[in-house]
A and B are shown apart, each in its own frame.
Chain A
Amino acid sequence: SQTIHQWPATLVQPVGSPLSLECTVEGTSNPNLYWYRQAAGRGLQLLFYSVGIGQISSEVPQNLSASRPQDRQFILSSKKLLLSDSGFYLCAWTPRDKPTDTQYFGPGTRLTVL
């Protein structure tokens, strides 16, 4: 069966520090991968998605970047965090041939920037 992992689960970082969040998927090949951010009490904002290694689509201009160095690994990064980067970050995957069907979410990373 497929599983999706995210780490760390929680993170507290000072403003201006770098960020690296990791997401890995097991039990499937060639998934579509997604990074979302959720502000407190709000819906999900799609940040990036990837349909293959090295292929990244950015949805909103921001202080963040994403990379996909391996088929089942998706990384969210920042060189210098802002207060507004605080939030709950969720990674998700879908089968390559069903990009708009069910998305499977990881447990999330709660980021607090102080």
Chain B
Amino acid sequence: SQQGEEDPQALSIQEGENATMNCSYKTSINNLQWYRQNSGRGLVHLILIRSNEREKHSGRLRVTLDTSKKSSSLLITASRAADTASYFCAAGQGAQKLVFGQGTRLTINP
């Protein structure tokens, strides 16, 4: 079964606002990753946070990880229309694979 569960399923905000998406998972992980998917396209890796890290930044992205709560959040600051996409978290387990969540559909209104 899918481990990563994103919340909310859909989010609509105004350009310039911050967008926060959350992800929960069920078992122990090596890392937690976030991907972005533009409509009808493949996924693009955004950021990876390892299980021994609590926060990571990359440009306008900030990811936090709370292993005690088995949860992660992705914050996009100063959103732009081009940030409109679906965002997925993926849990890196001990085996040879990632487990993806159902995604959050983010719409940035100009």
Contacts and interface: CB of A to CB of B under 8 A. Distances in A.
Interface in B13-56: 30-31, 33, 35, 40-45, 48
Contacts of B40: 88, 108, 110
Contact of B43 (A41, A42, A100, A105): A105
A16 B23 CA distance: 39
Given A100-B30, A100-B92, A110-B40, A46 B45 contact: no
A57 interface: yes
Contacts of A108: 40-42
A58 to B, nearest CB: 12
A32 interface: yes
Contacts of B94: 100
B12 to A, nearest CB: 15
Interface in A8-47: 32, 34, 36, 41-46
Given A100-B31, A102-B48, A90 B97 contact: no
Contacts of A45: 2
Contacts of A88: 40
Contact of A106 (B35, B42, B96): B42
B24 to A, nearest CB: 13
Given A90-B42, A101-B48, A105-B42, A44 B88 contact: yes
B52 to A, nearest CB: 14
Interface residue SS majority, chain A: strand
Interface of B: 2, 4, 30-31, 33, 35, 40-45, 48, 88, 90, 92-103, 105
Interface of A: 32, 34, 36, 41-46, 49, 51, 57, 59, 88, 90, 92, 99-108, 110
Given A44-B100, A46-B98, A105-B42, 19 more contacts: A32-B96, A34-B97, A41-B105, A43-B100, A43-B102, A44-B43, A46-B99, A49-B96, A88-B40, A92-B43, A99-B97, A100-B95, A100-B98, A101-B92, A102-B45, A102-B48, A103-B33, A106-B42, A108-B40
21 contacts: A34-B97, A36-B100, A41-B105, A42-B102, A43-B88, A44-B100, A45-B2, A46-B97, A46-B98, A49-B97, A88-B40, A90-B42, A99-B96, A100-B92, A102-B33, A102-B45, A103-B33, A103-B45, A107-B41, A108-B41, A110-B40
